[in-house]
A and B are shown apart, each in its own frame.
Chain A
Amino acid sequence: MENEKFEPKIVAFVCNWCTYTGADLAGTSRLKQQTNARLIRVPCTGRIDPVFIIKAFEKGADGVLVSGCHPNDCHYNTGNFHARRRWIFFRQLLDFVGIDSSRLYFSWVSASEGKKWVDVVDGVINSVRKKGRFNGYKRLNKETEIPVSAVDKL
């Protein structure tokens, strides 16, 4: 395991109306991008509860990307404004409890910005690759694993 080349695992929460469509455009335009990001489509950035992000880190993500419509472009008019205010708090909370908030990336990508999406994803993946594996939860996850019984060890 240790010798294996580190490939970061990125979870991307993207809004249905802008970034997901933008990522779709990148695909239909046949733009090349790295494939470490798993996209999760949500209706709006305002739908992203910070508990999603915590869950992603718990489940072994090395980085999380959150992306949605540009300000004033939200399909629901105000969703991204509400979300932005929450992130200001959430980033500093993550920093305070010891999860490096630089592993959490935010971006605005509109439906027509296929190229920008590719740049954002590649940038995030490269930067997480440099940072290395996120080890915080690794130790804690051991605690919840089912112990290997003596019979299995025989």
Chain B
Amino acid sequence: MKQLIDISKELFESKKVAYIIGYAEDKFKRVKPFVAHSSLDAETFVFNNYSVNNLSVYLTRLPKPKDGKIGIVAKGCDIKSIIALIQENQIKRDDVIIIGVNCNSVVNQIDEQFSKENTAIKCKYCQVRTPAHYDYLVGEIKEVELPEDKNFAIMQKLDSMSAEEKWNFWEAEFEKCVKCYACRQVCPLCYCEQCIVDKSMPRWIDSSATTKGNFAWNMIRAFHLSGRCIGCNECERACPADIPLSLLNRKMGMVAMNEFNYRHGTDINQPTLIGNYNVNDKEDFIM
């Protein structure tokens, strides 16, 4: 990735950025998130099929630089969450320099060899392999082969089930949850300083990992992301219990699309769906 390194170096040399968030390999040749503070650091930047992390999560977590902007290396899907953060007034567009990367799909199981079968499901419907919004663009698009979308069949199956069958399905899934909150920590849009699950007076969601509390937590997590989730699927990747969280997020995304024809993170100037209202919203369910 000579292009990426050259641009990063130039940004450091012209003192435009305080640091750049990107990907680098560790000593075991695994691709990891890496924050470069100098042009020497920037020489280790890489980008390949293993660059799966959504780095925009660090935009709200890392300390704000005193002078200079934050540079960030981002795939098309990550840029959607950067736009979402700008839409929600969490960061200013002028404070970030986005180095967009043409993405040729990323790996699903990060420990295993990248192949057609081991490609992330989100890549199947990706419309932003060439990012829609960026300051610099690097890399080139190649033809990629994509696997079948396993989750779509599960979604259809769930929709045809009765309420009780659905409950049993989710009970079996949520039973596995250990309440580690990795899904929250890894989510670029979960930026609340105090999460509702951490509030103890009163305690709304059981803190112990009982199935009842797990139901409440996973429902509320999905609800707080409804109309906001941009579908990077980092929550599902981070989940140590392999709960199919993307199903919940995808369902809520479909509601936003069907009811409001809205997709979050596509346009910086678009008002957000939740937090605004329309007097003509649907109300056929209200007596």
Contact = CB atoms under 8 A, between A and B. Distances in A.
Interface stretch (B54-62, B91-99, B111-119, B157-165): B157-165
A144 B212 CA distance: 8
B287 A92 contact: no
A42 interface: no
Contact of B219 (A72, A93, A139): A93
A97 B216 contact: no
A126 interface: no
A46 B244 CA distance: 31
Interface stretch (B11-19, B126-134, B176-184, B275-283): B275-283
B162 to A, nearest CB: 8
B192 interface: no
Interface string B189-233: 000000010000000111010111001100110110011000000
A130 interface: no
A82 B277 contact: yes
A85 interface: yes
A107 B287 contact: yes
Contacts of B165: 98
Given A85-B274, A106-B285, A143-B211, A95 B163 contact: yes
B261 interface: no
Interface residues of B, number: 44
Nearest to B168: A98
Contacts of B204: 49, 51, 55
Main secondary structure of the interface of A (DSSP, over half): helix
- State which size class the interface on A falls in: 35 or more
B7 interface: no
A93 B223 CA distance: 7
Interface string A42-72: 0000000111001100100000000000011
A90 B227 CA distance: 11
Contacts of A76: none
A85 B281 contact: yes
A6 interface: no
A97 B212 contact: no
Contacts of A88: 255, 259, 281-282, 285
A154 interface: no
B153 interface: no
Given A106-B286, A106-B287, A140-B210, A98 B205 contact: no
B124 interface: no
B163 A98 contact: yes
Given A85-B273, A85-B277, A100-B163, 17 more contacts: A50-B220, A55-B216, A58-B212, A71-B279, A78-B277, A85-B274, A92-B252, A95-B163, A96-B248, A96-B251, A97-B215, A97-B248, A98-B168, A108-B287, A139-B171, A143-B210, A144-B210
9 contacts: A50-B220, A55-B204, A84-B277, A85-B274, A92-B255, A93-B219, A97-B166, A98-B169, A140-B212
Interface of A: 49-51, 54-55, 58, 71-72, 78, 81-82, 84-100, 105-108, 120, 123, 136-137, 139-141, 143-144
